[in-house]
């Protein structure tokens, strides 16, 4: 089984367990062996809890759709009594939870065999994973000099390298889709509130953050979303109910769609030639599939930059709140947090309550402007990132000017100008691994639809996967042992 492990996605491994061809213990052994072999190069898997996983298997994993499949939780959110967390921070290293989050409870019911967490930037800030608490950067298995993305960068690296076939992530500004694009994976961000966020949290970053998954196959993403979708008790937001399921949507043709494409940012800036070429290639594919494809021209008053400035204020305040809550009145040792976090706290101190509410209002107003975009089209196609995965260290979180780090020259927003748009609007979006650069770096393609149209987006993604399957390209890395050394 060890030699065949990476030939299967999570759905495939679960079928082997169900048929008696392997066991949860055997699969866990393989996942742990691959962690020991690959993690020194990647720095992706943290907080290993083998004993917890063994006890869960011995007790009897639930007979769900992923019974016995090894799984990883992001080291941020997904609170679980049995899985302490660092939240990507020295300040919070080894934090223990007194309760299980609803997302974790739903994942556990699927029968997954969770055995560790995955590296995250401190408090989820940034499109790279280079936290001091892990002793160094998390690297991209396609090229160890490149980032695996963020903030779910550990999950992206672990899945791409074949340590596990699927892993948990979360997405407040692209944090599932960015590592998906960087690592050649599927990353689906559902409509706001499609997944639970309780019981402790009222909302993440003014409703912009949501959980998600990193997978190699689309069907794994669909099954994980089906297992976890739906509001939890007291949810402050409510997504339009699904008409069926994500898995059913994969079997349903999307119909002829009005596709609009952009190989520029929605602010008009150029993107890397490889990313522009990837959009053009995908546009031709969609036209060949029978869709109406035209170039998108953003309205002059879309004002993406104003939204990002508001996003930056909200995230700064959320970061400051997280640190303040942990300190509980104690003084802060600045050396226990990253420079970007120090900068976020300092910036938050300049933001009044009125400023914060104005920022929330701007984000929601932007969501209304984006809703208008989808009156005239069904799908917006762009690259996921403005360029291939960045070199390690380029966006290292040591800049104490939080506004400049997010929005200045050479900033996060220049690198990732598309993903946060759909956290602000709450609309569903997916990054698909449809292109690799000339030097074998993954380039994700980003597709978004109107609020609540998750199933139709899944239908389109399934049509694309069937027409232009990506599993073969992923397999080239797995056949090299999971890391391009």
Which residues does residue 258 pair with via DSSP β-bridges, in sequence order?
A: 292
Residue 187 in 3-state DSSP? strand
193: left (phi over 0), alpha (psi -120 to 50) or beta: left
Q: Kindly state the tokens that stand for 389.
A: 């995965």
Respond yes or no: is residue 313 known to be catalytic. Answer: no
Contact present, 93 and 189 (Cβ < 8 Å): no
Selected catalytic residue, list 74, 155, 322, 459: 74
Exposed/middle/buried for residue 58 (C-beta within 10 Å: 0-12, 13-18, 19+): exposed
Which positions ≥6 away from 1 have C-beta within 8 Å? 16, 21, 22, 26, 27, 30
Angle between helices 353-373 and 304-327 (to 10 degrees): 140
Selected catalytic residue, list 131, 151, 262, 459: 151
Contact present, 157 and 185 (Cβ < 8 Å): no
C-alpha to C-alpha distance for 164 and 32, rounded to whole angstroms: 9
C-alpha to C-alpha distance for 447 and 292, rounded to whole angstroms: 15
Exposed/middle/buried for residue 364 (C-beta within 10 Å: 0-12, 13-18, 19+): middle
Selected catalytic residue, list 113, 175, 262, 425: 175
Contact present, 229 and 484 (Cβ < 8 Å): no
Respond yes or no: is residue 175 known to be catalytic. Answer: yes
Which positions ≥6 away from 86 have C-beta within 8 Å? 46, 47, 75, 92, 93, 94, 95, 117, 131, 133, 134
Respond yes or no: is residue 151 known to be catalytic. Answer: yes
Contact present, 451 and 426 (Cβ < 8 Å): yes
C-alpha to C-alpha distance for 338 and 151, rounded to whole angstroms: 14
DSSP 15: H
C-alpha to C-alpha distance for 206 and 202, rounded to whole angstroms: 9
Q: Kindly state the tokens that stand for 405.
A: 């780090």
DSSP 237: -
Q: Kindly state the tokens that stand for 17.
A: 């367990």
Contact present, 298 and 315 (Cβ < 8 Å): no
- The DSSP secondary structure of 63-123, one letter per residue, reads -STTTT-EEEEESSS---TTS-B-TT-GGGTTB--SS--HHHHHHHHTT-EEEEEE---GG
Q: Kindly state the tokens that stand for 63.
A: 């007979």
Q: Give the residue from 342, 326, 338 showing the smallest Cα distance to 129.
A: 338
Catalytic residue positions? 74, 151, 175
């Amino acid at each position: 089984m060890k030699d065949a492990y990476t030939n299967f996605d999570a759905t495939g491994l679960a079928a082997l367990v169900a048929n008696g061809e392997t066991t949860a213990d055997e699969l866990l052994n393989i996942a742990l062996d691959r962690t020991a072999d690959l993690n020194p190069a990647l720095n992706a898997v943290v907080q290993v809890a083998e004993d917890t996983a063994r006890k869960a298997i011995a007790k009897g994993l639930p007979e769900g759709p992923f019974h016995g499949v090894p799984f990883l939780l992001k080291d941020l959110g997904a609170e679980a009594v049995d899985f302490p967390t660092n939240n990507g921070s020295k300040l919070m290293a080894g934090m223990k939870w007194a309760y299980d989050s609803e997302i974790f409870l739903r994942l556990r019911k699927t029968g997954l065999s969770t055995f560790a967490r995955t590296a995250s930037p401190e408090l989820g800030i940034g499109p790279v994973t280079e936290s001091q608490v892990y002793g160094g950067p998390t690297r991209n298995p396609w090229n160890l000099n490149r980032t695996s993305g963020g903030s779910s960068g550990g999950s992206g690296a672990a899945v791409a390298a074949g340590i596990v076939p699927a892993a948990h992530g979360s997405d407040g500004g692209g944090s599932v889709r960015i590592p998906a694009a960087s690592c050649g994976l599927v990353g689906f961000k559902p409509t706001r509130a499609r997944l639970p966020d309780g019981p402790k949290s009222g909302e993440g970053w003014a409703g912009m953050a949501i959980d998600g998954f990193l997978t190699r196959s689309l069907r794994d993403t669909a099954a994980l979303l089906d297992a976890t979708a739906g509001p939890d008790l007291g949810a402050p937001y409510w997504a339009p109910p699904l008409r069926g399921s994500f898995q059913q949507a994969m079997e349903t043709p999307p119909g002829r769609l009005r596709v609009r494409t952009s190989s520029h940012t929605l602010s008009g800036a150029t993107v890397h030639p490889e990313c522009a070429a990837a959009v053009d290639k995908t546009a031709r594919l969609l036209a060949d599939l029978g869709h109406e494809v035209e170039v998108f021209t953003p309205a002059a008053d879309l004002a993406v930059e104003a939204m990002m400035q508001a996003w930056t204020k909200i995230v700064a305040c959320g970061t400051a709140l997280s640190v303040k809550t942990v300190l509980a009145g104690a003084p802060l040792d600045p050396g226990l947090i990253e420079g970007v976090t120090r900068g976020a706290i300092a910036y938050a101190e300049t933001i009044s309550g009125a400023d914060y509410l104005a920022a929330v209002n701007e984000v929601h107003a932007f969501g209304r402007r984006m809703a208008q975009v989808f009156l005239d089209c069904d799908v917006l196609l762009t690259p996921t990132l403005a360029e291939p995965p960045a070199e390690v260290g380029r966006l290292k979180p040591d800049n104490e000017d939080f506004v400049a780090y997010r929005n200045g020259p050479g900033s996060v927003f220049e690198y990732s100008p598309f993903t946060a748009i759909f956290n602000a609007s709450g609309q569903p979006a997916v990054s698909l691994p449809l292109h690799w650069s000339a030097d074998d770096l993954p380039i994700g393609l980003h597709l978004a639809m109107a609020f609540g149209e998750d199933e139709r987006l899944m239908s389109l993604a399934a049509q694309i996967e069937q027409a232009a399957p990506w599993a073969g390209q992923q397999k080239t890395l797995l056949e090299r042992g999971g890391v391009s050394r």
